């Protein structure tokens, strides 16, 4: 075989190889750009058979736009001049459809240099072009979505923690414009406390190690204000597993946290309220029963003193017994005040007059180491309160202040008018109040003690040195008149007790004078009286007191027994009845008796402040424990003044 035969054989093999390639259009052009060869790949991509296209100019494959700018000729000129032309663009098939093509044109020259033509390779990249377009669209949509999110701060960090982009939500939540923050380290959003603990670096390290970091905490805005944030940091790695940065999402959940805190506070307040309600009911019931015992003791002592001849020895014993009973009565008044079941005489009270009238007494009571001062404006509105109970409350607070200043100090009593919004102070409604304060410069209380200060029976004075009801009594009394007790204290800074008292609007002035007992016009004026009480001890004392006052008395140990006795005796001149009785209350009994005798004078005895709904409210009230003089005054009031 000759060399020429070998060359022809090689050309044949090359032609077969090129023709077998179907993914690429491989064909030859003459120097003018006319097609001189055509492989099967060219036929598949462009739709022309070899017979249809050979001899035609390759510009047939170009779009009208490219032909208009003479791109085919420029492509050949570039290939001839630079040795190669390569680009991507739209090309046209025989049927007129377009495809995205990658084109390479190489010049073919003879060994001595003249141009023989061009080799042209075209690859269909339509699928890749579509995928790239879809990817670009997806990225654009994603960027648009991320940039449009206003409720979340979404941004990227480089591996060192520097910010590389910034969305609208980040701008809204954190206050920085993109040109202010991009390139800065993300640690500037952290609090000084977190920076001291190196939290930003630890967050990135955890995200890098585990792939994710998530936590809630305080973050700082551009203006220095803080917000409670939910933070998620995700590590981003390339295909080789190398860290290329972090995706960071921050959400402002301050409102959620505040709502959760408010819910927890409401639950705690509800629990505390329910607990205090139970304790109050228990304490009130115990105080009521104790009042009955005290009344039996005090009444018996009073009657016994009249029946035993005077002697120095017995007089002192009686005085001690009465003093002890009166201290017990004062204790029950504190319990009733705490449980808000205390009898109050509410009216318009002038705080200036009330406090100025007790300063001298306070100074004597507290002793010389305590310097009592007042701090009042020239004028103050009157408040709605019980003056006697308010004096007792100020005295209680002053004694507490004295005990907090064992080495002496200054006690300041003052007041200021305030306008508050709902939720500012306890559960008070919005409106005007007078804040009466008692301030000391004593030891103060820590947070734990302050939280328990108004808890019933809690005291820091040691065993036997306090009942733990002083502040509870003040709180109960103030709350009963529509106010609130607020304590402000810290260790070493003293304590301020603030009594928020409602202003007296359309309320008559309180009666602050002590009334002298009303004397009966004549002791010989005897009444036929029915005494009713389910407690035998109380009933016996009441009967003995009434008989000692010269009245004819019948007794009944229940409301039903009283009704039977009333009808069998043809009525009575007056009825003295306990209110809290099983089966039928004193108010219910009064209604029943009024059906028989509409103008019947009735005295209702009770240890509680408020009668239940439906009770006969206009009845003359007698507060337990009562003395013979108080019983006599009530009888005179109901029988002499027509209070039926």
The DSSP element (H or E) to which 390 belongs, if any, is helix 387-403
Range 43-70 burial, b when 16+ CB lie within 10 A, else e: bebbebeeeebeeeebbebbeeebeeee
Q: Residue 633: count other Cβ atoms within 10 Å of its Cβ.
A: 20
Supply 627's token pair: 């003395």
What residues form DSSP beta bridges with 98?
Answer: 92
Supply 580's token pair: 């809290």
- Higher-scoring residue by pLDDT: 65, 454: 65
CA distance linking residue 579 with residue 615, whole number of Å: 10
Task: Give CA 338 to chain center in angstroms.
Answer: 27
**Which homologous superfamily is 149-252 in?**
PAS domain (3.30.450.20)
CA distances from 130 to 97, 124, 448 (A): 15, 11, 69
pLDDT at 46 over 80: yes
CA distance linking residue 57 with residue 80, whole number of Å: 17
Supply 433's token pair: 């109040």
Handedness of CA 594, 600, 606, 611 (dihedral sign): positive
Q: If we measure between CA atoms, which residue out of 412, 416, 357 comes closest to residue 388?
A: 357
CATH number belonging to the domain at 347-502, selected among 3.40.50.1220, 3.20.20.70, 3.40.50.300, 3.30.565.10 = 3.30.565.10
Considering the chain, what is the average pLDDT of its residues? 80
Q: Are strands 484-489 and 409-420 parallel, antiparallel or unpaired?
A: unpaired
Per-residue pLDDT at 467: 46
Taking each helix axis from N to C end, the angle separating 470-480 and 387-403, rounded to the nearest 10 degrees, works out to 150
Q: Are 103 and 85 in contact (CB under 8 A)?
A: yes
Q: Are 497 and 517 in contact (CB under 8 A)?
A: no
Per-residue pLDDT at 103: 93
CA atoms within 13 A on the CB side of 317: 9
The DSSP element (H or E) to which 234 belongs, if any, is strand 226-237
Please give the share of the chain, as a percent, with pLDDT higher than 70: 73
pLDDT at 518 over 80: no
Q: What is the pLDDT of residues 239-256, one digit of tens each?
A: 888 899 998 989 888 888
pLDDT level of residue 112 (50, 70, 90 thresholds): confident
Per-residue pLDDT at 132: 73
Per-residue pLDDT at 59: 92
Q: Which fold has domain 264-338?
A: Helix Hairpins (1.10.287)
pLDDT at 606 over 60: yes
pLDDT at 187 over 90: yes
The reported pTM is 0.39
Give the number of residues written for the chain.
644
Rounded average pLDDT over 179-202: 93
Rounded average pLDDT over 574-599: 89
At 229, give phi and psi (nearest 5°): -120, 145
How many helices (H) and strands (E) in the chain? 21, 20
CA distance linking residue 56 with residue 69, whole number of Å: 20
State the CATH architecture for 528-640. Answer: 3-Layer(aba) Sandwich (3.40)
CA distance linking residue 133 with residue 447, whole number of Å: 64
CA atoms within 13 A on the CB side of 634: 25
pLDDT level of residue 326 (50, 70, 90 thresholds): low
Supply 111's token pair: 């060994």
CA distance linking residue 294 with residue 290, whole number of Å: 6
Reduced to 3 states (helix: H, G, I; strand: E, B; else coil), residue 491 is: coil
- Higher-scoring residue by pLDDT: 518, 212: 212
DSSP 441: -
Please give the share of the chain, as a percent, with pLDDT higher than 90: 30
Q: If we measure between CA atoms, which residue out of 54, 50, 46 comes closest to residue 101?
A: 46
Q: What is the pLDDT of residues 483-517, one digit of tens each?
A: 888 888 888 888 998 989 999 886 666 554 434 33
Q: What is the pLDDT of residues 344-388, one digit of tens each?
A: 667 888 988 888 888 887 888 788 788 888 888 888 899 988 887
Per-residue pLDDT at 455: 62
At 627, give phi and psi (nearest 5°): -100, 175
Q: Is 374 exposed, middle or buried (0-12, 13-18, 19+ CB in 10 A)?
A: middle
Apex 551 CA angle, 547 and 555, nearest 5: 70
CA distance linking residue 220 with residue 227, whole number of Å: 7
Per-residue pLDDT at 362: 81
pLDDT level of residue 184 (50, 70, 90 thresholds): very high
Query: Do the domains at 3-130 and 149-252 have one common CATH topology?
Result: yes
pLDDT level of residue 65 (50, 70, 90 thresholds): very high
Q: Reading across the β-sheet that carries 98-109, which strands appear in turn?
A: 24-29, 115-124, 98-109, 85-92
pLDDT level of residue 461 (50, 70, 90 thresholds): low
Per-residue pLDDT at 643: 39
CA distance linking residue 166 with residue 160, whole number of Å: 16
CA atoms within 13 A on the CB side of 555: 16
Q: Is 631 exposed, middle or buried (0-12, 13-18, 19+ CB in 10 A)?
A: buried
Q: Are 594 and 618 in contact (CB under 8 A)?
A: no
Q: Are 279 and 285 in contact (CB under 8 A)?
A: no
DSSP 435: E
Sorted by where each begins, the domain ranges of the chain are 3-130, 149-252, 264-338, 347-502, 528-640
Cα distance between the two ends of the chain: 150
Q: Are strands 347-349 and 370-375 parallel, antiparallel or unpaired?
A: unpaired
Q: Are strands 620-623 and 602-606 parallel, antiparallel or unpaired?
A: parallel
Q: If we measure between CA atoms, which residue out of 513, 510, 512, 514 comes closest to residue 383?
A: 510
Q: What is the pLDDT of residues 392-411, one digit of tens each?
A: 788 888 888 888 888 889 99
pLDDT at 324 over 70: no
CATH number belonging to the domain at 3-130, selected among 1.10.3720.10, 3.30.450.20, 3.40.50.300, 3.40.710.10 = 3.30.450.20
Reduced to 3 states (helix: H, G, I; strand: E, B; else coil), residue 444 is: coil
Rounded average pLDDT over 428-444: 89
Per-residue pLDDT at 218: 93
pLDDT level of residue 85 (50, 70, 90 thresholds): very high
DSSP 343-367: ----EEE-HHHHHHTTHHHHHHHH-
Q: Are 106 and 118 in contact (CB under 8 A)?
A: yes
Supply 124's token pair: 């269909």
Q: What is the pLDDT of residues 617-628, one digit of tens each?
A: 578 888 877 888
Radius of gyration of the chain (CA): 50
- Higher-scoring residue by pLDDT: 294, 548: 548
At 529, give phi and psi (nearest 5°): -120, 140
CA distance linking residue 25 with residue 142, whole number of Å: 37
3-state percent helix, strand, coil for the chain, nearest multiple of 5: 45, 25, 30
pLDDT at 422 over 70: yes
């Amino acid at each position: 075989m000759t060399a020429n035969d070998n060359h022809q054989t090689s050309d044949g093999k090359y032609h077969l190889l090129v023709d077998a390639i179907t993914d690429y259009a491989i064909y030859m052009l003459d120097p003018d750009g006319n097609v001189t060869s055509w492989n099967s790949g060219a036929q598949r991509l462009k739709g022309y058979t070899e017979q249809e296209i050979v001899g035609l100019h390759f510009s047939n494959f170009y779009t009208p736009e490219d032909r208009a700018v003479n791109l085919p000729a420029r492509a050949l000129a570039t290939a001839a001049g630079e040795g190669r032309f390569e680009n991507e663009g739209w090309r046209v098939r025989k049927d007129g459809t377009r495809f995205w093509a990658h084109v390479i044109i190489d010049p073919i020259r003879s060994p001595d240099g003249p141009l023989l033509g061009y080799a042209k390779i075209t690859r269909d990249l339509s699928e890749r072009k579509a995928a790239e377009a879809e990817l670009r669209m997806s990225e654009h949509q994603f960027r648009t979505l991320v940039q449009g999110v206003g409720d979340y701060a979404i941004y990227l960090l480089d591996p060192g923690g520097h910010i590389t982009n910034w969305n609208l939500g980040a701008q809204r939540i954190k206050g920085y414009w993109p040109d202010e923050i991009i390139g800065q380290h993300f640690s500037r959003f952290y609090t000084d406390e977190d920076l001291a603990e190196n939290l930003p670096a630890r967050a990135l390290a955890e995200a890098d190690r585990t792939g994710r970091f998530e936590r809630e905490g305080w973050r700082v805005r551009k203006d220095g204000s803080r917000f409670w944030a939910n933070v998620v940091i995700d590590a981003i790695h390339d295909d080789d597993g190398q860290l290329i940065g972090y995706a960071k999402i921050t959400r402002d959940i301050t409102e959620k946290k505040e709502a959760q805190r408010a819910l927890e506070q409401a639950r705690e307040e509800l629990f505390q309220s329910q607990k205090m309600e139970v304790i109050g009911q228990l304490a009130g019931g115990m105080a009521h029963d104790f009042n009955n015992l005290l009344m039996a003791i005090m009444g018996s002592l009073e009657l016994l003193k009249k029946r035993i001849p005077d002697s120095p020895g017995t007089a002192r014993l009686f005085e001690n017994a009465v003093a002890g009973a009166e201290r017990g009565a004062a204790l029950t008044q504190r319990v009733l005040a705490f449980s808000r079941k205390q009898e109050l005489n509410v009216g318009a009270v002038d705080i200036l007059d009330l406090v100025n009238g007790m300063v001298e007494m306070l100074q004597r009571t507290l002793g010389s180491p305590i310097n009592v001062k007042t701090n009042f404006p020239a004028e103050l509105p009157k408040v709605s309160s019980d003056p006697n109970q308010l004096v007792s409350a100020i005295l209680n607070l002053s004694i507490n202040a004295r005990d907090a200043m064992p080495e002496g100090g200054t006690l300041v009593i003052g007041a200021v008018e305030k306008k508050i919004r709902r939720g500012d102070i306890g559960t008070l409604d919005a409106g005007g109040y007078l804040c009466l304060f008692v301030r000391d410069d004593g030891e103060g209380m820590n947070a734990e003690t302050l939280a328990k200060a108004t808890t019933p029976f809690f005291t820091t004075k040691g065993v036997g040195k306090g009942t733990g009801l002083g502040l509870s009594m003040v709180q109960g009394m103030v709350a009963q008149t529509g106010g609130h007790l607020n304590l402000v204290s810290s260790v070493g800074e003293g304590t301020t007790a603030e009594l928020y008292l409602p202003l007296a609007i359309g309320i008559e002035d309180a009666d602050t004078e002590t009334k002298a007992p009303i004397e009966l016009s004549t002791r010989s004026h005897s009444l036929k009286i029915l005494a009713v009480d389910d407690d035998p001890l109380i009933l016996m004392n009441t009967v003995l007191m009434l008989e000692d006052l010269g009245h004819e008395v019948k007794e009944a140990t229940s409301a039903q027994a009283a009704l039977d006795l009333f009808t069998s005796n043809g009525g009575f001149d007056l009825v003295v009845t306990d209110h809290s009785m099983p089966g039928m209350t004193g108010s219910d009994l009064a209604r029943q008796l009024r059906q028989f005798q509409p103008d019947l004078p009735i005295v209702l005895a009770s240890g509680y402040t408020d009668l239940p709904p439906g009770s006969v409210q206009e009845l003359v009230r007698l507060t337990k424990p009562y003395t013979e003089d108080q019983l006599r005054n009530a009888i005179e009031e109901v029988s002499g003044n027509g209070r039926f």
